[in-house]
Structure 1
């Protein structure tokens, strides 16, 4: 397959499809009405083992589009389908457009121009979508325009609603991959290749696109200007049947993603929340980890002597800044953001703890990092932690820190208030040492 004049296209549009011929037809039709000249883009449709092959739908557009059809005989999942189609791409920019997503006439041009303006530098453009209902879908299929009444707040892009507050847009550069949905997105092909495309082990529904964009973001060192969210690169999402079991399947993929990336920014996604709050939490915890390091918190020197001796022979999880230098027993692990990640050290907060089986630990010791957990996240750490360990030791260093100076980073400063809050829920003792206060919970 080639473009009509034989030159390489500027944009390869990858359209993954499965058992949705009518929606695919509407999507392909929208690509024939683009302001981007036909010779500047190609379309590759990936058919992920549809019960009725989608080739005839694609064939109807061969006289109007430079289009290729890639079919798998079996249903391999969305990651494998996208990878198979992307492998046929010839352009330096890959655009992913779902087969149930109709492109606005200017959509492809906006994606092409974004990458052209970067002059070969890596980049990701995230477009927006409207979630249409029946009236909007019917209008598109009849070739009629979308009118404003079809695009009210109930049909808007949920990501944009969640980040409408100015603070959320300031949070966006901290973790733009959280908004990385592949229904309408583009990436430079070298970045796609370097991260190995989509993870084909993720065969269930959901999170495979966030995992992909997460890896692209960190591949380049998490630069704030790598991703751009373009509200004018718009598309229209057609109604389609979604099984209620998809939500459960997505949690399996979420757990898999957290096993792959043992970092706080993925750990945050485990909580049920909006896109905007995920962005805010990632930014807050990034700043918290930096702030408690600068304030001299989390240091191993704060560990009481008897507790340090016990750690040397215990199966422990030890959390703090620099604590990977402490002697711990076999089967122990650290969450030490000052040391490189490895088999026994992770850059986590401790709000999930899924890598530990029930009863796998004798004790969890957290030096100060617990003080930076938000009020809704500290209970998650404590309740899940006591499923994994016999007890939890919260160590609060006697370091003079101005709570207000750290804002908006959260910091527990009033230990009396905390003890009063926790006392009804745990067997709790408080011991004061020279360097720290030790709160024991069972």
Structure 2
């Protein structure tokens, strides 16, 4: 096996950031063999890295690929039974020795300088950071064949026959910088990160089981949060190139499995950063950045708090259930006599199992988990499409939704960007739009707060 730990320089040894290339594989032996060859042709000295491949078994034979891995000095193991992507990766991590882990898929063909680029990034990084390289999709089988035969490929040819679906060629640097504010949306392969960060968050979540999708995004979201959501926690470098080799994919099956994993993913994290779909990362990244700003504005505005008069109306509604199950979104929840077991959404208080920092677009709760969802002003932050999603989600997980718009005397009007019902002049159209799909009853508290009951 290739050694790890020291790199020769001027005849002397110096410590390196010990790089382990971690590769899970399943039913892709035809891709894995050229991938291994690409890793044997790296500019990084072989003493500086190791390659660990773990097969999640299937009916496809890996005998030739395993033999080639051993000939090249790489480690190859097969799990005793089908375990899924998370368990396969965790096993490979446990076998690896490096202080830095580079996650590649078994269909990612490495350019000669890939490992050296990742190695140097971590050597020069100011602290624990993650490096995200490009993954180029290949549009031509002829190009793929030439690549795998080791033939010279010009930049012009690469530009004609490849594209990066995450960061297209010519994308402005500012767009990439903004994308890296939500890096987990893009971090599904060709990502290197200090081993200590991976182990500190518990590795890949094996609860995803045999389903395809989201286990990698889940890991790197947890890594990002562990790094304190630093704006430079993840750095994208387009010169770190891996090619995504063509292989057969059943996209319908993959999408079905991906969608099956989404409720677990969202329920696990209960934060508005994971509510938008990751299928369209650019749109999701924009939504997340927007709502980060609006939530900060909301918590500083004085909105979201229920006065005594309005709370009496809420209590009247709560009394219609013997033991109401409530999801309550608003600020100042610690000062309210909420029913026992209430799940709060209070962005002004620390997140916990009973206080979530969501917006209510896609909660991951099962149907009818609650009797009532109450939303005090938080709904006013939402784009119209997201507001509609919130109403639909609330009426999926509860029998009734109560929207409250707190009273706003003219001299203390709360300005909330994006408010779908800024003042009473907007309400007629707003309520007509709601009534076209749900039963709506409106009421006023003595202090002028508007209560909108939706069923």
TM above 0.5: yes
8 Å Cα contact 1:12-1:90 kept in structure 2: yes
Superposition deviation, residue 101 in structure 1? 0.9
* In structure 1, C-alpha distance between the alignment counterparts of 2:403 and 2:454, rounded to whole Å: 8
1:202 aligns with one of 204, 208, 220: 208
| 1:278 and 2:289 correspond | no
2:304 aligned partner: 298
Query: What SS does structure 2 have at the residue aligned with 1:201?
Result: helix
Superposition deviation, residue 250 in structure 1? 1.0
| 1:69 and 2:81 correspond | no
Superposition deviation, residue 98 in structure 1? 1.1
| 1:354 and 2:364 correspond | yes
How many residues align structurally? 433
Query: Unaligned regions of 5+ residues in structure 1, if any?
Result: none
1:24 aligns with one of 29, 32, 45: 32
* In structure 2, C-alpha distance between the alignment counterparts of 1:163 and 1:235, rounded to whole Å: 18
8 Å Cα contact 1:163-1:169 kept in structure 2: no
* In structure 1, C-alpha distance between the alignment counterparts of 2:170 and 2:200, rounded to whole Å: 30
* In structure 2, C-alpha distance between the alignment counterparts of 1:4 and 1:221, rounded to whole Å: 30
**How well do the aligned residues superpose, as a CA RMSD in angstroms?**
2.7
| 1:439 and 2:452 correspond | yes
1:325 aligned partner: 335
- After superposition, the C-alpha distances for 1:358-397 in whole angstroms (9 at most, x for unaligned) are 3x43322110000001111111111232233333221112
- After superposition, the C-alpha distances for 1:204-256 in whole angstroms (9 at most, x for unaligned) are 10000000001111112211111111111111101111122111111122211
TM-score by length of 2: 0.87
Query: What SS does structure 2 have at the residue aligned with 1:364?
Result: strand
2:437 aligned partner: 425
Query: Unaligned regions of 5+ residues in structure 2, if any?
Result: 8-14
Counterparts of residues 56-135 of structure 1 (less than 5 Å): 56-62=64-70, 65-118=72-125, 121-133=127-139, 134-135=141-142
Change in Cα spacing, 1:167 to 1:296, as seen in structure 2 (3 Å) is farther
* In structure 1, C-alpha distance between the alignment counterparts of 2:40 and 2:2, rounded to whole Å: 16
- After superposition, the C-alpha distances for 1:45-71 in whole angstroms (9 at most, x for unaligned) are 1111243553532433545x4411122
Bigger shift: 423-432 or 110-119?
423-432
Superposition deviation, residue 344 in structure 1? 3.1
| 1:3 and 2:16 correspond | no
* In structure 1, C-alpha distance between the alignment counterparts of 2:337 and 2:5, rounded to whole Å: 68
1:378 aligned partner: 387
1:232 aligns with one of 220, 236, 239: 239
TM-score by length of 1: 0.89
2:376 aligns with one of 367, 380, 385: 367
1:158 aligned partner: 165
